[in-house]
Amino acid sequence: MRKLARGVPPKLARGLLFIALAAILPLVVHDGGFVNFLTDAGAYVLLALGLNIVVGFAGLLDLGYAAFFAIGSYAYAMLASPQFGIHIPFWIMLFLASGIAALFGILLGAPTLRLRGDYLAIVTLGFGEIVPQTFLNLPQWTGGPNGLGNLDQPVFFGYRFGFNILPYYYVMLVLIVLAVVVAQNLRDSRLGRAWIAIREDELAAKHVGINTTTTKLAAFALGASFSGLAGVAYGAKLQLVSPDQFQFSVSVAILSMLVLGGMGNITGVILGSILISSLDRLILPQASNLIFALAHVRVDLSNSRFLIYGAILVLTMLLRPEGLLPNRRRRAELHAGTAEAMP
């Protein structure tokens, strides 16, 4: 232990190892489809990290988080495309879109400040429906059901990303590293403690002097800002944004990532999002092929993905309610049983 403490902290060392592995991976695995999958999964990691601030840290159940993903994507689609002839560079849009998403986080968060639990969930569910509907019904700006295409491709010191997947992959990796550092730093700060206090007991939080209004708004804003990043990166990679990318099912999928991985635990959330993405994009199609090969029955398990998500959630709740990599303390809560420390 003493030796470790003198060198690089073990947590940092582990983090750097993961980053190095992730950086080398696409150079070793020459499979464009796989790297493409990883890049898309990366967008979901960003989204899950953002939602984790709202739900995992501050305990505010948000069922409409995809709305902020939509806002980030459409911000890029409208400000970096031929739609209005505005072409703000990708790198500036990352900041701008996360700012816009944060602003909407505050706007949509403000009416919910007095709500908790089920009530909050229902209002956020409403917002999650309203936002894509709005984009759908403003065709003069958003292209309506067709969405907006031909979005600008990022340029890095004169290098055009084009349709090569690798640069998008590395951008996503950098954004994730950034998001993890920000999320960790926030968690271990005055603001992070205030979020956890509100999650645990809002009245007691007020009585240690926490301004619950600004603290909750900060959670909504910062949580939303992550999805601004995800929206820009994802939109630029896909070069297309359309309202059906942001349905309720997307909010549910992101929440499932948190539940499966372990709410409040950053590593758990990353694991959960990669697992759910793999299930959707790799495991189910492969399993369908396997079934065809073995039994000569043509099934597409991808069509049953929500059945399978549902089953995963039910199983998680029954077998490991704290998620795969739990927040240590939440685990204690859920397995306390008879060991309750009451007289």
Partner 1 sequence: MGLLEMEAVTQRFGGLLAIDALDFTAEAGSITALIGPNGAGKSTVFNVLTGIYRPTAGAVRFDGVRIDGRDSAAIVALGIARTFQNIRLFAQASVLQNVMTGEHVRLHANLLESILHTPRQQTEERAVRERARELLAFVGLTGVDEAAAADLPYGSQRKLEIARALASSPRLLLLDEPAAGMNPTEKNGLITLIERIRERGTTVLLIEHDMGLVMRVAERITVLDHGERIAVGTPAEIRADQRVIDAYLGKPA
Burial category of 304 from C-beta neighbours within 10 Å (exposed 0-12, middle 13-18, buried 19 and up): middle
Total residues contacting partner 1 by CB under 8 A comes to 35
For partner 1, the closer CB: 217 or 257:
217
Comparing CA positions, the residue from 143, 139, 171 lying closest to residue 156 is 171
- In the chain the beta strands, taken as DSSP E runs, fall at 80-81, 86-87, 148-149, 155-156, 159-160, 240-241
Minimal distance, residue 312 CB to partner 1, in Å: 24
For partner 1, the closer CB: 216 or 237:
216
Cβ–Cβ < 8 Å for 255, 60: no
Which are the contacts of 74, defined by CB distance < 8 A and separation ≥ 6?
Answer: 135, 142, 148, 231, 241
Site string for partner 1, 257-296 (x = CB under 8 A): ----------------------------------------
For partner 1, the closer CB: 116 or 193:
193
321-340 residues near partner 1, rule: CB under 8 A: 327, 329-330, 332-333, 336, 339
**Which of 20, 146, 200, 335: binder of partner 1 (CB under 8 A)?**
200
List C-alpha distances in Å: 249 to 12, 119, 175, 252, 268: 35, 20, 24, 5, 21
Cβ–Cβ < 8 Å for 284, 342: no
**Which of 107, 125, 186, 313: binder of partner 1 (CB under 8 A)?**
186
Q: Under DSSP, is residue 87 helix (H, G, I), strand (E, B) or coil?
A: strand
**Which of 72, 147, 192, 223: binder of partner 1 (CB under 8 A)?**
192
**Which range touches partner 1 (CB under 8 A), out of 25-33, 37-45, 145-153, 189-197?**
189-197
Minimal distance, residue 255 CB to partner 1, in Å: 20
Q: Which residue has the tokens 């706007």?
A: 107
User: Should residue 164 be labelled a site residue for partner 1 when binding is judged by CB under 8 A?
Assistant: no
**Tokens matching residue 33:** 């489809």
Contact footprint for partner 1 (CB under 8 A) = 182, 185-186, 188-194, 196-197, 200-201, 203-212, 218, 327, 329-330, 332-333, 336, 339, 341-343
